[in-house]
């Protein structure tokens, strides 16, 4: 009975009710959208590197090691000697190892020296492999592979020349040894997109005529002569390591951390990523709080709409009281109306969100490398929708109590 009356009452005020439902729907869509983006961003952040058991470098903090080796932020406190790299690679626990050399740049993009194994061993987003949008890997000493953001920002294509600058934010360039773009990687949403990848030997080659951060005086060494040199690096910045068994990770980590020849640190990427997320997670909390306030604002608007409708329904309430309607019935009517509006708004908001995700997910993935899963609402989202409905019921209690307190005498009185 109360449900039929509530539906009829809402239908009689179709315009204001529709606008209220739409406001709730948009706020719920925003709230759930922020939740989707938050969880998707966290998953993408965690999946920046996957399948790598350890990252090793000069002794520093695990977060700092992760920042400069994976995210290309900051610089290493020191390098790792080539002999130490070989000692680590010779350990029986090591299944594969990829060296990384950082320090140079190209127009504010970091240049990374590595081996061809990087393109097969580096994985992201739960095990996805790097893929080439154009071209292939490093076939020649002066080949370079660029990330998707580098290609898009600088307008580069296959075969274009590229000159590496010495150091970061440096005006000294290795003009005598230009590289040729041999490959362009597909968008990954990771720091690889903003990286210029060359070989370790190429890093050594462009520094043949450099010493102590400055170019030696005199004519540069011809490229043909450089190709004939032993370009084994003297040191590298960090290494990515995969072990033969997950049970061997901690033993290898302890061995590296206790390496007697030089101070080294081995960090588990997953643990370091969690530590880093705790640092940047303040913005996540603030974003959730803002979206929650939008929902609260919509519910307050619904409460104001119910209050304003009471001024036109005072005679209706009085008649119901005169006909024997109990206070519980009037309270139940207004609560039912509010919960119906909130339920319709929540369902409409969820529908709008998932429709938008289905349409925009490929664009978001290609532009930002952020994969937002689309499926049935999980338990957390169901609780959030239920919370919106319960909050709507709580917000409607104040106007419902106001209606209950309308006296029968005031209701039947003709006001002038």
Residue 30 is predicted with a pLDDT of 83
- What is the β-pairing status of strands 179-185 and 161-162? antiparallel
Residue 341 is predicted with a pLDDT of 85
Name the β-bridge partners of 101: 113
Residue 213 is predicted with a pLDDT of 64
pLDDT tens digits, the chain, 416 residues: what are they? 677 777 877 787 788 888 888 888 888 888 888 877 777 777 777 778 888 999 999 999 999 999 999 988 888 889 999 999 999 999 999 999 999 999 899 988 999 999 999 999 999 887 889 999 999 999 999 999 999 999 999 999 999 999 998 877 666 788 889 999 999 999 888 899 999 999 999 999 998 887 766 677 777 888 889 899 999 999 999 999 999 999 999 999 999 999 999 999 999 998 988 888 777 667 777 777 877 787 788 778 777 777 776 666 666 666 666 776 676 777 777 788 888 888 888 889 888 888 888 888 777 766 666 667 676 777 777 887 888 888 877 877 777 777 666 544 444 454 44
The dihedral built from the CA positions of residue 166, 168, 171 and 175, taken in this order, carries a sign that is positive
Q: Name the token pair of 35.
A: 């939740």
Q: Tell me the C-alpha distance between 63 and 99, whole Å.
A: 19
Residue 294 is predicted with a pLDDT of 77
Return all residues near 261 (Cβ < 8 A) that are at least 6 apart: 81, 83, 84, 87
């Amino acid at each position: 009975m109360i449900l039929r009356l509530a539906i009829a009452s809402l239908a009689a005020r179709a315009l204001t009710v529709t606008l209220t439902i739409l406001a709730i729907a948009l706020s719920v869509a925003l709230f759930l959208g922020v939740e989707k983006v938050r969880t998707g961003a966290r998953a993408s952040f965690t999946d920046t590197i996957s399948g790598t058991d350890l990252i090793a470098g000069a002794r520093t903090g695990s977060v700092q090691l992760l920042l400069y080796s994976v995210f290309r932020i900051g610089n290493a406190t020191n390098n790792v000697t080539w002999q130490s790299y070989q000692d680590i690679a010779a350990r029986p626990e090591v299944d594969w190892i990829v060296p990384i050399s950082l320090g140079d740049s190209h127009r504010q993009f970091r240049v990374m020296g590595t081996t061809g194994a990087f393109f097969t061993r580096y994985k992201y987003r739960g095990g996805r492999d790097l893929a080439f949008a154009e071209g292939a890997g490093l076939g020649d000493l002066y080949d370079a592979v660029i990330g998707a953001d580098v290609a898009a920002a600088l307008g580069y294509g296959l075969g274009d020349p590229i000159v590496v600058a010495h150091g970061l934010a440096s005006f000294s360039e290795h003009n005598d040894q230009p590289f040729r773009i041999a490959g362009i990687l597909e968008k990954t949403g990771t720091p690889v997109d903003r990286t210029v990848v060359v070989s370790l030997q190429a890093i050594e080659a462009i520094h043949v005529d450099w010493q102590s951060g400055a170019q030696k005086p005199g004519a540069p060494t011809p490229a043909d002569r450089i190709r004939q040199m032993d370009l084994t690096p003297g040191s590298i910045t960090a290494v990515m390591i995969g072990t033969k068994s997950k049970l061997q990770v901690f033993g290898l980590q302890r061995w590296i951390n206790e390496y007697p020849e030089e101070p080294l640190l081995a960090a588990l990427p997953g643990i370091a990523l969690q530590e880093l997320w705790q640092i940047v997670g303040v913005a996540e909390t603030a974003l959730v709080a803002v979206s929650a306030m939008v929902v609260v604002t919509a519910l307050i608007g619904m409460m104001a709409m119910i209050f304003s409708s009471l001024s036109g329904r005072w005679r209706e309430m009085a008649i119901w009281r005169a006909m024997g309607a109990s206070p519980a019935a009037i309270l139940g009517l207004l609560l039912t109306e509010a919960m119906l509006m909130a339920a319709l708004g929540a369902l409409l908001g969820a529908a709008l969100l998932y429709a938008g995700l289905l349409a925009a997910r490929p664009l978001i993935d290609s532009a930002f490398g952020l994969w937002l899963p689309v499926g049935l609402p999980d338990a957390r989202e169901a609780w959030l929708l239920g919370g919106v409905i319960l909050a709507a019921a709580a917000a409607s209690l104040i106007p419902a109590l106001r209606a209950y307190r309308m006296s029968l005498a005031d209701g039947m009185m003709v006001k002038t």
